[in-house]
């Protein structure tokens, strides 16, 4: 005769109605249509007749907000308003163009900042400091992250039947000694 094994029962509140857990599938079938709708909407907005006016107003607002935020920490010797405005306008313009290209591309982008204290991982990180060691050696000795300078950036292409992920940029990190 086989021994019987008792399985402990989970204690639950019978008054609470809970929904059964569903597993979210991040596949081309579920994520692709969302990105396709977003792309179509962004392209429609960009092709509107008053888009250039809207864009210029938003850029002016962004530049003035950045100028106000950084006014308190600006060096006293940096009094040339035209140079500051020109630089901020270029920054805002380039960021806006990059955003337009990313959002209208039909590709999803994922920005990930590794957490401080996690181990260095050569596949997703680039050590800014120490620079005298090979990345594989840093990973082997189990170095931990003390500062994250830039994020890991990946692009996922859901336009086809299969999911394709590309690594665009590694995270620049400073490792503990």
Domain segments of the chain: what residues? 28-105, 106-177
The pLDDT tens digits along the chain (177 residues) read 444 433 333 344 445 454 544 445 555 456 677 888 889 999 999 999 999 999 999 999 999 999 888 888 877 776 677 778 888 999 999 999 999 999 998 888 889 999 999 999 999 999 998 888 899 999 999 999 999 999 999 988 877 666 778 889 999 999 987
Q: Long-range contact list for 132-139, CB < 8 A, 24+ apart?
A: 138/175
In the prediction, which pLDDT does 106 show? 86
Return the ∠ at Cα 112 (arms to 111 and 113), rounded to 5°: 130
Q: Classify residue 104 by its DSSP letter.
A: T
In the prediction, which pLDDT does 12 show? 42
- pTM for this one? 0.65
């Amino acid at each position: 005769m086989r021994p019987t094994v008792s399985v402990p029962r989970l204690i639950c509140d019978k008054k609470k109605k809970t929904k059964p857990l569903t597993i979210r599938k991040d596949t081309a079938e579920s994520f692709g249509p969302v990105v396709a709708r977003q792309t179509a909407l962004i392209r429609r907005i960009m092709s509107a007749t008053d888009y250039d006016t809207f864009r210029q107003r938003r850029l002016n607002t962004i530049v003035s907000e950045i100028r106000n935020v950084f006014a308190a920490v600006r060096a006293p010797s940096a009094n040339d308003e035209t140079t500051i405005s020109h630089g901020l306008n270029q920054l805002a313009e380039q960021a806006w163009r990059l955003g337009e290209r990313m959002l209208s591309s039909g590709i999803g982008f994922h920005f990930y900042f590794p957490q401080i204290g996690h181990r260095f991982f050569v596949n997703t990180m680039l050590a800014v400091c120490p620079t005298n060691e090979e990345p594989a050696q840093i990973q082997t000795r189990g170095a931990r992250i003390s500062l994250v300078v830039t994020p890991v950036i990946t692009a996922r292409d859901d336009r086809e039947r299969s999911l394709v992920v590309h690594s665009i940029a590694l995270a620049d990190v400073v490792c503990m000694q």
